[in-house]
Every structure is written in structure tokens, then in C-alpha cells.
């Protein structure tokens, strides 16, 4: 690289290696262009494990405050992946590193990541499932959740009839008190609170809360059917995941394949929350033994809320539900 100066950017890594057989691009990451970075990750022959190469390149590119090279690198990933035979393990690591970068990059870079993931996912080997379909279970230890939580003021309000101040109380305060007097309208108001990230409540806390309020949960969801929730509200996704565990996971396959059930739960009760659907929810749903018509019905419902989803959410619907379902071993032929 020293002998070539800035003119090295016009050469591929293969050409650089031909000029200098001892050239090690991993020792010169700061001198490589985004094109050369993509070539290194996808096609460059090296004795180093591919996972090490991918991690080193992503570590270098994502630590820089200037995202220009990283965003160009993402575009060249799509181009160069055609030129090499990429194993499933490398696809999985690439997706994992892109997912890891999303919370730390700008909205523009996050959009580039989503587009890159969508384009790469179209060419993964048929047997390569990037995201394993499974149903995660949240452990709810009330003792641990309620350490240091004081629900006295909330309990007084509940005893005297809940007020409109439900959003003033933390999720943990509701989870750590008796909810025997909570009404469906009160729970609906709690679910509709527009909470900030630091007050959105943990998944264990929401699951504990909704488990305690299970007797009025369905009625509360019915009250919210026509409510428009903010997709940027971090609590919306967590609530949907908790409802999945408390309700959907308890229903039989026969119930899940009942058109009336899908209409009631997905197109009415859960519809306000679907714009913030999580990869976890989608992956679990794809394993539920859905028949073709049920799968298509759910895709139609998700399509109806798609315009209000973030681009990342839209990509997740494809990668975690649509592709996961269509490539599963027990999938019956789905008609277009």
C-alpha cells in the first residue's frame, strides 16, 4: 500500500495481492476503500476464519463517527455477494452484525441496513434460516421485579376508583400491586399510554401486569380496537410480546386456524399493536402450525398496517414471518 499511495483505491484486493503476495488487508483496514472492505468480507481468500474477518471489518467501520464508508460498504455487500459462494454461517453473522449496528447508527444508515438485509435475504440458500423460529418465554419473578417498587399511592387510587392519571404511574407499580379492582377501561388506558424509553417498562414487568389483569385483558383490547398507537412508543412492542405469551401461546392450533379467531385477535384486538410487531413475535407466529389460508390472512392484516411500520419492521415481517413460514419443512403449498 505504501508503494501505491492513494492510487491503491483503484485496485481490487486480488490485484493488490498479485503485486504483493505478503499483503494482509486485515492489517491495513484503515487504508481500504468500502469496495475493498466488501471484497474482503465476501470473496477474498484468507487463512483467517471468515467470522474473524467479518467481525474485524464491522468493528472498524461502525466505530467511526463518519458513516459514509459504512453506508457505501453496505451497498457493495449486495454487489459482491454475487461473486462468491457465501456459506450460511457468514450470512447469519452479517445479519447479526447489521442488527447490532442499528441502535447506534443514524436513521439513514439504519435504512441502508434494512435495505441491505432485504436484498441479501433474497439470495440466502433455501435451507439457510437467518433467524431461527422459536417462541421465547419471559420469566416473571415477582420478588425480583418488585424490589424497591412502592405501589402505595397507586393502590390508594385503585381502591377509590382509578383516575385518568394512569400514565403517571410506572409499569412496575401496576405489576407490583393487587389489580383485583382494575377495570377494563383502566387497563385500556394503561396500554395506550405513550411512554418514553426510560419508562416503557420491562417485558417481565408487562407480563406480570397483564397476567394479574388477565380477567379484563380481552375487554380492554376490545376497547382499543380503533385506537391509533404511536409506533415509536417502545412499550407497544413489549405489550404485544407479552400478550402473545399470555394469550396466543395458550390457544390450540385448531383455534389459530379458525378464520373467526384470526379476525377477532389479529384484525381487531391486536391490530393497534401490530405496527410495532417484534421479530420475536413474528418468529414465534411462524411456528404455530398455520395452514395456508391462515398464513395468507395474517399477511393481509400485516399488509394493511405496513404503511405505518418503520422500514426495519417491514423487513422483519419478511425475514421473520414470511420467509420463515414459506421455507419451513411443514409448509403446504401456498398459492400466490
pLDDT, one tens digit per residue, over 55-65 is 889 999 998 88
From the list 225, 158, 169, 160, the residue with the least C-alpha distance to 193 is 169
Assess contact for 194 and 230: CB atoms under 8 A: yes
What is the per-residue pLDDT across 63-116, written as a single tens digit (0 to 9) for each? 888 899 999 999 988 887 766 677 888 888 898 888 888 878 888 888 888 888
Is residue 131's pLDDT more than 80?
A: no
Residues 212 and 155: their CA atoms lie apart, in Å, by: 14
For residue 322, the Cα-to-chain-centroid distance in whole angstroms is 14
Residues 291 and 284: their CA atoms lie apart, in Å, by: 15
Give the rounded percent of residues in the chain with a pLDDT score beyond 90: 39
Assess contact for 1 and 13: CB atoms under 8 A: no
136-152 average pLDDT score: 89
Q: Is the dihedral angle over the CA atoms 136, 141, 147, 151 positive or is it negative?
A: positive
Note the pLDDT of residue 100.
82
pTM for this predicted structure: 0.68
What is the per-residue pLDDT across 284-331, written as a single tens digit (0 to 9) for each? 999 999 999 999 999 999 999 999 998 888 888 988 899 888 877 555
Highest mean pLDDT among 6-15, 17-26, 163-172, 271-280: 271-280
**Burial of 26 per CB tally in 10 Å (0-12, 13-18, 19+):** middle
Amino acid at each position: 500500500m505504501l508503494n501505491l499511495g492513494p492510487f491503491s483505491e483503484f485496485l481490487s484486493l486480488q490485484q493488490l495481492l498479485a503485486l504483493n503476495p505478503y499483503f494482509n488487508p486485515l492489517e491495513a483496514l484503515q487504508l481500504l476503500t468500502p469496495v475493498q472492505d466488501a471484497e474482503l468480507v465476501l470473496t477474498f481468500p484468507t487463512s483467517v476464519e471468515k467470522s474473524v474477518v467479518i467481525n474485524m471489518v464491522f468493528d472498524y467501520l461502525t466505530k467511526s463517527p463518519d458513516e459514509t464508508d459504512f453506508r457505501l460498504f453496505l451497498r457493495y455487500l449486495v454487489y459482491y455477494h454475487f461473486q462468491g459462494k457465501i456459506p450460511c454461517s457468514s450470512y447469519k453473522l452479517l445479519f447479526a452484525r447489521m442488527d447490532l449496528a442499528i441502535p447506534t447508527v443514524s436513521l439513514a444508515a439504519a435504512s441502508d441496513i434494512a435495505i441491505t438485509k432485504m436484498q441479501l435475504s433474497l439470495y440466502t440458500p433455501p435451507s439457510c434460516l437467518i433467524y431461527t423460529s422459536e417462541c421465547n418465554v419471559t420469566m416473571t419473578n415477582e420478588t425480583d421485579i418488585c424490589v424497591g417498587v412502592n405501589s402505595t399511592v397507586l393502590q390508594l387510587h385503585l381502591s377509590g376508583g382509578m383516575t385518568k392519571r394512569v400514565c403517571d404511574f410506572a409499569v412496575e407499580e401496576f405489576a407490583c400491586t393487587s389489580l383485583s379492582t382494575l377495570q377494563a377501561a383502566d387497563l385500556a388506558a394503561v396500554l395506550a399510554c405513550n411512554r418514553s424509553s426510560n419508562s416503557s417498562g420491562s417485558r417481565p414487568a408487562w407480563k406480570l401486569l397483564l397476567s394479574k389483569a388477565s380477567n379484563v385483558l380481552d375487554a380492554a383490547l376490545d376497547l382499543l380496537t380503533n385506537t391509533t398507537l404511536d409506533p415509536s412508543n417502545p412499550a407497544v412492542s413489549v405489550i404485544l410480546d407479552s400478550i402473545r405469551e399470555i394469550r396466543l401461546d395458550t390457544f390450540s392450533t385448531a383455534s389459530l386456524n379458525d378464520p373467526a379467531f384470526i379476525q377477532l385477535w389479529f384484525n381487531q384486538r391486536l391490530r393497534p399493536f401490530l405496527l410495532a410487531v417484534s421479530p420475536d413475535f413474528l418468529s414465534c407466529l411462524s411456528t404455530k402450525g398455520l395452514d395456508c389460508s391462515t398464513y395468507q390472512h395474517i399477511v393481509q392484516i400485516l399488509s394493511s398496517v405496513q404503511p405505518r411500520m418503520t422500514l426495519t419492521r417491514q423487513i422483519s415481517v419478511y425475514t421473520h414471518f414470511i420467509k420463515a413460514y414459506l421455507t419451513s419443512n411443514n409448509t403446504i403449498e401456498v398459492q400466490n
